[in-house]
Amino acid sequence: MDTLSYRTKSVSKEEAEHKWYVVDAENQVVGRLCSRIAAILRGKNKPTYTPHSDTGDYVIVINAEKVRFTGNKWEQKLYKDFSHWPGGQKLTPAKAMHAKDPRRIIERAVRGMLPKNKLGRHIFKRLFVYTGPTHKHEAQKPEPIQLLTRKS
């Protein structure tokens, strides 16, 4: 039997190359934006994607306070938290969460799209969300990336 020359190569975490990207969230729909961010964090945009290994990139999100929801989600969307005590459920509308800390909307959406295990928690640490157009990662020389086309 011959050795196959077309075997699939699994990339280990030592072999993976991690790039830095900057995403401008201004006037972007939250769900569509965060699903693309989660794919970049996992490395699904690369031909070397390996599900069980950390092959993704770093993502910096700027202008997090300028995201938008479609429909009536600003008033109707509720974020649920639970303290694991009786009566400990808290419901927070999207508008109130945006007023308190707009970064949490993107962080919670992306975290929900990542695996619920050690790898997912490790991948989430590579997401950096900022309000405003500036960030503190200039030393890494991040590349700007346009995830979605904007409607005028």
**What is the per-residue pLDDT across 10-22, written as a single tens digit (0 to 9) for each?**
888 888 899 999 9
Dist CA 121 CA 137 (whole Å): 21
Which of the four pLDDT bands, split at 50, 70 and 90, describes residue 147? confident
Lowest mean pLDDT among 75-79, 108-112, 113-117, 144-148: 144-148
What are 79's two structure tokens?
């974020």
Report pTM. Answer: 0.90
Dist CA 53 CA 73 (whole Å): 35
Question: Euclidean distance between the first and final Cα of the chain, in Å?
Answer: 60
Domains and CATH numbers, the chain: 23-144 (3.90.1180.10)
- Name the β-bridge partners of 126: none
**What is the per-residue pLDDT across 32-78, written as a single tens digit (0 to 9) for each?**
999 999 999 999 999 989 999 999 999 999 999 999 999 999 999 99
